[in-house]
């Protein structure tokens, strides 16, 4: 269900961005105010654009969101240090339990730009820790968190 919701969000996000760009071009006088003249094929081009956005939006969540293993010893308790680490990077704790931590971006503007898809979850399992969220954020934060714990242990 989460995948479908993300796909629909991204479809409308792409359409919204295209509309904003087109409005800016019309406002600056770089494009004709009659939308039918801006696209090859007139209004029938909208269906082609919508199909393209639907195709991209249906694949994007699979490519953009990951669940990555953190290379931190499972016996290490990381909660307090992870909370400090995320707070330094402008995240707030959304949910905290014995086996998981969930963080959200503190800034409302950043949350809107990321379409409220800014949640990072750290889960403790028997074989270690896993971080789930947007690929770019997970890779950036996971490497920082891993280096923090490997520097501490040396």
pLDDT value at position 154? 45
As assigned by CATH, the class of the 71-153 domain is alpha beta
Mean pLDDT by 10 residues, the chain (154 residues): 90 92 92 83 86 94 94 85 94 93 94 90 92 95 89 51
How many distinct helices (H) and strands (E) make up the chain? 6, 5
**Where along the chain do its domains lie?**
2-63, 71-153
Helix (H, G, I), strand (E, B) or coil at 16: helix
Cβ neighbour number for residue 44 with a 10 Å cutoff: 10
> Which residues are bridge partners to 151 per DSSP?
none
With contact defined as beta carbons under 8 Å apart, do 122 and 100 qualify? yes
């Amino acid at each position: 269900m989460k995948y479908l919701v993300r796909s629909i969000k991204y479809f409308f996000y792409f359409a919204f961005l295209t509309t904003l760009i087109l409005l800016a071009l019309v406002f600056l006088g770089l494009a004709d105010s009659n939308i039918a003249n801006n696209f090859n094929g007139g209004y029938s081009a909208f269906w082609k654009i919508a199909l393209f956005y639907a195709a991209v939006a249906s694949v994007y969540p699979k490519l953009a969101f990951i669940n990555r293993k953190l290379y931190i010893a499972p016996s290490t308790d990381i909660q307090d240090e992870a909370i400090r680490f995320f707070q330094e990077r402008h995240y707030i704790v959304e949910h905290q339990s014995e086996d998981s931590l969930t963080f959200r971006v503190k800034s409302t503007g950043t949350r809107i730009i990321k379409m409220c898809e800014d949640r990072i979850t750290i889960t403790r399992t028997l074989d270690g820790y896993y971080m789930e969220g947007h690929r770019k954020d997970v890779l950036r934060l996971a490497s920082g968190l891993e280096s923090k714990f490997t520097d501490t242990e040396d």
